[in-house]
Amino acid sequence: MQGLTAPAAASPATALLRRRTAGTQQLQHALPGRALRWRRERSHHGFIVEARQSEAPEAVAHKPVVEKTQHKGEPTRHIDEMIGTVRASLREMGGGDISFSPYDTAWVALVKKLDGGEGPQFPSCIDWIANNQLPDGSWGDDAFFLVQDRLINTLACVIALKTWNVHSDRCNKGLSFVHENIKRLPEDDENWMLAGFETIFPTLLEMAKDVGLDMPCDDPALQDIYAKRDLKLAKIPKDVLHSVPTALLLSLEGMPGLDWDRLFKLQSPDGSFLSSAAPTAYALMQTGNKKCLEYLTDIVHKFNGGAPFVYPVELYERIWVVDRLERLGLASYFRAEIDSNLAYAYRHWSDEGIGFTWDCMVKDIDDTVMGFRLLRQHGYHVSTEALKHFETKDGEFVVYRGQTNQSVSAMYNLYRAADQAAFPGDDGVVRRAKAYSYAFLQERRASGDLNDKWIISSGLPSEVAYGLDFPWKANLPRVETRMYLEQYGGSDNVWIGKVLHRMHLFNNELFLKLAKADFSNFQRQCRLEWQGLKRWCEKNNLEMYGVTPQSAMRAYFLAAANIFEPDRAAERLGWARTAVIAQAISSCFLSSNAYATDSMLEGLIGELTSDGHNLARRGGNYSTTENGLLNALHELIDLSAPGKDASDNLREAWKTWLMELTTNGGHESCGGNTALLLVRTVEICSGRHSSANQNLKPAEYSQLEKLTSSICSKLGSRSLSQVNQNGTTMENTENLEQQVDQEMQELAQCVFKSRDAISRVTKQTFLHVTRSYCYVAHSSPETIDSHISKVIFEDVV
């Protein structure tokens, strides 16, 4: 499998990430009245799995390893240790860190010796089954009780044990669980039905009867399952099943009347059927195919007798871990690892889309649109052709052909891709994808039906709602992260396939602990910076010019919500102070403020055209109030900019802005020039001022300036017209919104495309400033205030 291997033993980094925490509510529902405590369940092939279990003689209580690094008073060391652990795990990535499937393991255990002898071909699978029964007699996900999952895993394991007449006590205990819980099938949410359950479970019931097990096949709870099976089998075109790769290959063991000669033309290069153990084991039992044997032998060896329900899943894992790191605000710590993952994804990209592994024969929209968005946002050229393969003639978008119901999470990822990575000149499929996914999600949101067919996540409804309420153009990075800290389920998230499964690498508690610790550090730094900014405003008497604590706080928040890295305080404060001073000067002109005298204007221009010491030489000629504004500008220019060249550049930027302001009679409310002033200030304060120099502008830089100025001017004009209530029609507003959307696509393309002339960070500055204008235009004052409180002042818990 192209060198995809699992490590022979767990490193500390991998072990730490693979620790699972349990959802106690569901477990207590499954095991009423049982006391819960931690124990180490087992160690196998690099996986250290922890489960919450009832009291058991072999249990040994211990604290999770991650707590070792939680020393009070050492937040930096604590974060550094976690970063190191995560980085090590990212560099160890192989075929994918996915949990075991008792169901698939049982199918592999059923394979008889191929040399004609008695007994199983893979006896280690029998051992795995015997060692992994849960205290209530079932097999399945130990932390989330889904009736279908427990029944399909348990019945398969019971059949395997009965077939080889071993572990009769465990077999009987499992059989009792099936009898006691089969009546609970109607309790499951319809959205959480396991893939292929309606065909696989009836097949297992027949197999159980064949090995002499008493099965309640006439239980009323099964009648709906039988009806769904009959309907599905009647709809399956046998010719398509045998000639075209479809998701049905995952459930071959539940399909009657198969033509194996034709089906083997759909066998994956690694010898499996869709990289899944159960259908591959079934094919091996039916045909003795050597490539099937090779795949299963490899899987059993890699996982010490267990088997995931699909493997490898390396492409899926690599894309999803990038998404999680970025939304948790951790991407800056793992640039090299993210770049490596995306380079891998791009090598295996095709215009038909991608699947969960590099050679997956069935592409799906979920992996495809996640890859489409991330690759475009990181400078890769990816066309829209792949999206067309998931659009039906009826205008719907599907996860894969032949699906029976729609996925909330997949449509949300489709919406994110169409909203965030649309470029000018894209085929109409992007626009149609956005319209369809948005309408679907809004309908499900309105009906309160946001449970998904692929993931069980308590944060999904909030995640979808936030994404719909704040389109990408108006979504500030730190606001998104603060919300996602509450939406990201960590190790509580459960994925749905043929069985429930866990993706340990990108759904784990360490990611969440690190993200919360990092955000808490950010908040502490923000509060200190804000206090300093507030003192600076008071010292310079800026409230006399209309700068209130609220407006200064908003200026700082917009800067910090975009530029949040710990080592970029100078850029944050440069942005905030520039916004404050620009507001003060604009306020004077626009409101005919008494202090906006010719003398003050002369002083401002003099300060900007002098060598930086004009204030000191002529301070006696200005009032105290005027000196406050001039002093604030002087401090920004001469103290914030790193070096004389930088100060000169910043002074020139302010001079350009002031000239535009006075030329327009003070009506700079449109914001385009101020937006460019913010960009130039950030770049100069960062030391990247060479790109901001007027004499060193590549054409691409000029295009970034043009788009930023145009978008922010339009947004400012719209805001001003709303304030003045000048009769702007709805049609004019919509036209303006369409123009902004079009130019935002152009700006995104300029920022994301990969070129060396301008650094990625500089291009991001233009995007940050523009999105902050979009955010203010999109949000009510109450919403902004609530975000300020949540991002800066409400502790992350």
The pair of three-digit structure tokens given for residue 295, joined into one six-digit string: 């795949």
- 666 Rama sector, left if φ>0, alpha if ψ -120 to 50, beta otherwise: left
Q: How far is CA 66 from the centre of its chain?
A: 23
The answer, yes or no, to whether residue 21 has pLDDT greater than 80, is no
What's at 582, amino acid-wise? A
Which candidate, 142, 139, 102, 135, places its Cα nearest to that of 22?
142
pLDDT band at 77 (very low <50, low <70, confident <90, very high): confident
The answer, yes or no, to whether residue 622 has pLDDT greater than 60, is no
What are the sequence ranges of the domains in the chain? Answer: 102-303, 314-507, 538-609+625-719+730-793
Distance between CA atoms of residues 458 and 448, nearest Å? 13
The answer, yes or no, to whether residue 65 has pLDDT greater than 90, is no
Write the pLDDT tens digit of every residue in 87-109. 999 999 999 999 999 999 999 99
Task: Identify the residue with better confidence: 484 or 545.
Answer: 484
Containing 366, the helix (H) or strand (E) segment is: helix 365-377
Write the pLDDT tens digit of every residue in 645-669. 888 889 999 998 988 887 765 555 4
The CATH number of domain 538-609+625-719+730-793, selected from 1.10.600.10, 3.40.50.300, 1.20.1630.10, 3.30.2010.10: 1.10.600.10
Candidate from 40-44, 189-193, 599-603, 717-721 with smallest mean pLDDT: 40-44
Percentage of the chain modeled with pLDDT above 70: 83
Q: Please check whether the two domains, 102-303 and 314-507, share a CATH topology.
A: yes
Distance between CA atoms of residues 652 and 116, nearest Å? 87
CB of 491 closer than 8 Å to CB of 509: yes
Distance between CA atoms of residues 653 and 679, nearest Å? 10
Half-sphere exposure of 621 (CA within 13 A, CB side): 16
Distance between CA atoms of residues 616 and 45, nearest Å? 72
* Local structure of 521: helix, strand or coil: helix
Which pLDDT score, from 0 to 100, does residue 5 have? 39
Q: What is the CATH number of domain 102-303?
A: 1.50.10.160
Output the pTM of the full model: 0.88
pLDDT band at 734 (very low <50, low <70, confident <90, very high): confident
**HEC per residue, 207-244:** HHHHCCCCCCCCCHHHHHHHHHHHHHHHHCCHHHHHHC
The pair of three-digit structure tokens given for residue 771, joined into one six-digit string: 């999105």
Backbone φ, ψ for residue 50 (5° rounding): -115, 140
Q: Where are the alpha helices (DSSP H) in 592-671?
A: 598-609, 614-618, 624-635, 644-663
What's at 627, amino acid-wise? N
Alpha-carbon separation of residue 481 from 326, 476, 515, 796 (angstroms): 9, 9, 9, 11
Average predicted confidence (pLDDT) for the chain: 86
CB of 177 closer than 8 Å to CB of 154: yes
Q: 């404060």: which residue's tokens?
A: 573
Burial 405-442 (b: 16+ CB within 10 A, else e): ebbbbbbbbbbbbbbbbbbeebeebbebbbebbbebbe
Contacts with 321 (C-beta within 8 Å, 6 or more apart), sequence order: 90, 93, 341, 505, 506
* Local structure of 344: helix, strand or coil: helix
* Local structure of 50: helix, strand or coil: strand
CB of 496 closer than 8 Å to CB of 366: no
CB of 707 closer than 8 Å to CB of 750: yes
Mean pLDDT of 202-227: 94
Per CATH, the homologous superfamily of domain 314-507 is: Terpene synthase, N-terminal domain (1.50.10.130)
Which candidate, 618, 578, 626, places its Cα nearest to that of 598?
626
CB of 103 closer than 8 Å to CB of 156: yes
Mean pLDDT of 528-549: 94
Contacts with 125 (C-beta within 8 Å, 6 or more apart), sequence order: 105, 106, 108, 109, 160, 300, 305, 306, 307
The answer, yes or no, to whether residue 635 has pLDDT greater than 90, is no
